[in-house]
A and B are shown apart, each in its own frame.
Chain A
Amino acid sequence: MLFRKNRKRFHEQIQLNTQQEITGQKGLLSSDLDENLHVFHSIYQDCMDVVFRTFLIGGQTRAVLIFIEGLSNLEEVDDNVLAPLASETEGKVRPRELLEKKIHISKMKEVKTVTECIEYISVGFPVLLVEQEMVGLALGLCKWEKRSIEEPQAESVVRGPREGFVEALHVNTSLLRRKIKSPDLKMKSRKIGRYTDTHVVIAYMKGLADQTLIEEVENRLQRIDIDSVLESGYIEELIEDNPYSPFPQLINTERPDVAAANLLEGRVVILVDGTPFVLIAPISFFSLLQSPEDYYQRFLISSAIRLLRFVFMLMSLLLPSLYVAVLTYHQEMVPTALLISMFSSRETVPFPALVEALMMEITFEALREAGVRLPKQVGAAVSIVGALIVGQAAVQAGLVSAPMVIFVAITGVSSFMVPHYTQGIALRMLRFPIMLLAGSLGLLGIMLGVILIVVHLCGLRSFGEPYLSPIAPMKKNELKDSLIRAPWWGMNKRPHLTGEYNPYRQAPGQKPNPGKGDES
């Protein structure tokens, strides 16, 4: 019942909105300037940031410039529009020709309807309306405050480009275009959000990305009818394959180089205005374990680090549960000397291993979360509390055992080894149910939990692409870039998932062999 009621209300709302559009904004501009002004005044009633600047062209023809304060470049407007037009002294010239002669702006659009006018005004284009003209002019003089390009905070590298996406969409597209100069890089734009009217751009490489994939992405974006899009997370949740999965089915990144590399492997990048995080689809489980730096460092080292990352990813999921299971059910697995020292440190601890582990892990998660949200000034306080009280004092007080603190610390560190925060957090959350299973069924419980996760991952898809490829289903060629990273001269083929009809990314046989190749 509740749903039905909501739906009814929702439909009423739609009718309301559309009605408003028809009466108020869909109309054409009139030739009477006063009538136009009246319309705009009523639309922008109580909007103190909208400026109506009335002036005379050449001292005769009335004109008005509408813009929003702070979105338009006022100096440019003064120098290139107001000054030349107002100082015009020629007699009876048709204003239209005059405008074309006098205003020197590279980006200028003719607008005919009120809706169009509003659209341009709200992105920062000053709109010029002239007496006796049915057509207004939107002048491309927008300029709003934006952050300069900085190093991405969430994904830092030792070696690699230091630039990151910013909040302004056109800066982000230009960053991509600077990396990929080919005109095959296509960007399609659409607007999502009833109130925010946010620009969303789908970028892909023509000829590399699968056509059906692009259509699928467009269809899913088409379906979205939401009142606002303030971050790409809104979009992500609305176009996922399995909304209940804890695992992310799209990567987000702040790095143009990551976005470009994924475009070149035939994936689709979705850029959203107002956020530095762009979305990449489709992905697999293993692309979440890849850091951009893997491709910039020497391949042997990258491969070793990837394997290390994989091992620690498993540890971040399983280590506390293994500790609980071993201490509760499988003491014989631990060598005797170690077991004795472990149990002697647990002697004073009043809790069973499971409670101890849960307590410590939850505390750790709280410390981590507090650390993220913390104002910088109180940062020291939390680290003192975290390190001294939880680490040292709790052990001395006999509330937790020292080995437990070690394991929690290792788990915490290993969960940050996963390069993508969204996946790291998914694994961190999953370790709690596994801990409970370990406390009740030991290693069997852990295995049942792991099997459940693997089965879930096996059934998961990201835009139709199996999440565990290339391991399951097995694709031999792509194993080169999953758990290890093959050298560049060894990866002649693009990943199968998208590079269907352009499989080769480079000429074969580029392995350097100085002194052997040229006999001259």
Chain B
Amino acid sequence: MIEKGKISAFQMGVMMYPGILATAILTVPSITATYAKQDLWIAPIWACPIGLLIVLVFLQLHKHFPGKNIIQYSENILGRLIGKTLGIYYLFFFLHNSGFVIREYAEFIITSVLPKTPIVLVIVGMTLVSAFAVKGGVEVIARSALVFLPLFMFPLLLMGLMVLPEMEPRNMLPVMGNGIKPSLKGAFFPIEWYGDFIYMSFLLPFLKDEKGGKWGMISVMAITLTMVITNLTTIFVFGGSTTELLYPVMNVFRYISLADFFEHVESIVIAVWITGMFVKFSLIYYALVLGVAQWLNVSDYKSFVLPIGFLQVIFSIWVAPNFQQMGQFFTTAGSFYFPSIQIILPLFLLFVALIKKKYKDKSPKSSIVQ
């Protein structure tokens, strides 16, 4: 096996939490709000079953092909040629996706704290740090996720308390004033991010225990809960103007003011948010590097780390000419592009695997009959 490390299911859950949320709390609330308006907070709840479904699909696939990830079992399911083709398709998707992820991070850093710094520097810095972690293997990423989880989580969960004086709960009324449709439309965007649970497929083979399902579900629930809390807070604070903000959740932190001294903490929040970003990016980076090594049947993935990091930097520049176009992509093509690869294709794989299994189960019997 390429990777010798073992992680616990709890660690996997901990990795997935920032693995989704790190970028989801940036742009998603704003995009969702354009469609869902004051029902912003309901959208994640609609999206949650889809998240659970993805986890279930990958758990089932893991059950049928223990010790393998999506790059490997797509070959088992679809045969060598089509499987390999699908594998490289996925690898390109991961590369594309990691380009988006790191670009989102870099654009955010540039616009909010370091306006004069060249964007490549910000991207390369994060890529190098992640490369260091990816070289350390899955254990190192999992452990650093454990260390950073409290840092990443507490600002998000406590932000509601901190801006209590600024809140206007009436902003959320009328609940479902225009029916169920706006919030359902808005739910498309959280679903795009829930699709990142595809990277769980790369972690499941390394689990020490059998609680992968439990912690996967808990992770989805925790993510949904966090999204609901942050979205509610955003709605309470900004009301209808949420749509006009690029990063509504981060803007909420600007309103924190305690004892006239503890003010303007958004820089600190951004600083701890970077740790979550690091976990997310390392996870994708790791999946990509591991996938490439497995796709090429190479026994060691470490020599791929830096070259692929370089590719990711390039892709992060290529994915979009500017931030507005990237947002445009997320709201239009993206809402079909991501789910179709991250949800529909795995579902299809599972479907084929199940049919194949049924066929296989039957065929020996029929041969006996003959």
Q: Which residues of A contact B (CB under 8 A)?
A: 329-330, 332-333, 335, 441-448, 450-452, 454-456, 458-459, 466, 468, 471-474
Contacts and interface: CB of A to CB of B under 8 A. Distances in A.
A437 B272 CA distance: 16
Chain A contact residues, majority secondary structure: helix
5 pairs of A and B residues whose beta carbons are closest in the complex: A472-B143, A458-B143, A472-B146, A459-B136, A447-B274
A333 B125 contact: no
Contacts of A474: 8, 10-11, 146
A455 B140 contact: yes
B270 A443 contact: yes
Contacts of A446: 271
A445 B122 CA distance: 9
A272 to B, nearest CB: 32
A451 B281 CA distance: 13
Contact of A443 (B147, B261, B264, B271): B271
Contacts of A448: 125-126, 129, 274
Contacts of A471: 146-147
Interface stretch (B113-121, B221-229, B341-349): B113-121
A450 B126 CA distance: 12
Given A444-B122, A468-B147, A473-B11, A330 B113 contact: yes
B58 to A, nearest CB: 23
B109 interface: yes
A472 B274 contact: no
B158 interface: no
A444 B125 contact: yes
Contacts of B147: 454, 458, 468, 471-472
A292 to B, nearest CB: 26
18 contacts: A332-B264, A333-B265, A333-B268, A335-B263, A441-B117, A442-B113, A443-B113, A443-B268, A443-B271, A444-B271, A448-B126, A454-B148, A455-B129, A456-B132, A458-B144, A471-B147, A472-B147, A474-B8
B122 A451 contact: no
A516 to B, nearest CB: 37
Given A332-B267, A444-B122, A455 B132 contact: yes
Contacts of A444: 109, 113-114, 122, 125, 270-271, 274
Interface string B147-178: 11000000000000000000000000000000
Contacts of B133: 451, 455, 458
B154 to A, nearest CB: 15
Nearest to B261: A335
B121 A441 contact: yes
B260 interface: yes
Contacts of A454: 144, 147-148
B8 A473 contact: yes
Contacts of B113: 329-330, 442-444
Contacts of B109: 444
Chain B contact residues, majority secondary structure: helix
B205 to A, nearest CB: 18
A456 B260 CA distance: 38
B206 interface: no
Contacts of A450: 275
B260 A335 contact: yes
B153 to A, nearest CB: 14
Contacts of B143: 458, 466, 468, 472-473
Interface residues of B, number: 37
B267 A451 contact: no
Contacts, number: 93
Given A441-B121, A444-B109, A472-B142, 13 more contacts: A329-B114, A441-B114, A441-B125, A443-B270, A444-B113, A451-B275, A454-B148, A458-B143, A468-B143, A472-B147, A473-B8, A473-B11, A474-B11
Interface in B274-318: 274-275, 278
A353 B148 CA distance: 29
A468 B11 CA distance: 14
A227 B8 CA distance: 45
A454 B271 CA distance: 15
B46 to A, nearest CB: 33
Contact of B140 (A332, A441, A442, A458): A458
A330 B113 CA distance: 8
A443 B132 contact: no
Contacts of A468: 143, 147
A458 B261 contact: no
A445 B129 CA distance: 11
B261 A451 contact: no
Nearest to A455: B133
B240 to A, nearest CB: 27
Contacts of B274: 444, 447-448, 451
B301 to A, nearest CB: 15
Contacts of B11: 473-474
Contacts of B136: 455, 458-459
Contacts of A455: 129, 132-133, 136, 140, 144
Q: Which of A333, A441, A452, A473 has the most CB of B within 10 A?
A: A473
Nearest to B8: A473
Given A329-B114, A330-B113, A455-B129, A447 B267 contact: no
Nearest to B6: A473
Contacts of B268: 333, 443
A266 B127 CA distance: 40
A185 to B, nearest CB: 34
B267 A452 contact: no
A436 B344 CA distance: 47
A4 B328 CA distance: 62
Nearest to B278: A451
A450 B113 CA distance: 18
A447 B144 contact: no
Contacts of B265: 333
A441 B110 CA distance: 11
Contacts of A456: 132
Nearest to B208: A473
B286 to A, nearest CB: 12
Q: Which of B11, B142, B143, B146 has the most CB of A within 10 A?
A: B143
Interface string B90-129: 0000000000000000000100011001000110011001
B140 A473 contact: no
Nearest to A466: B143
A407 B164 CA distance: 34
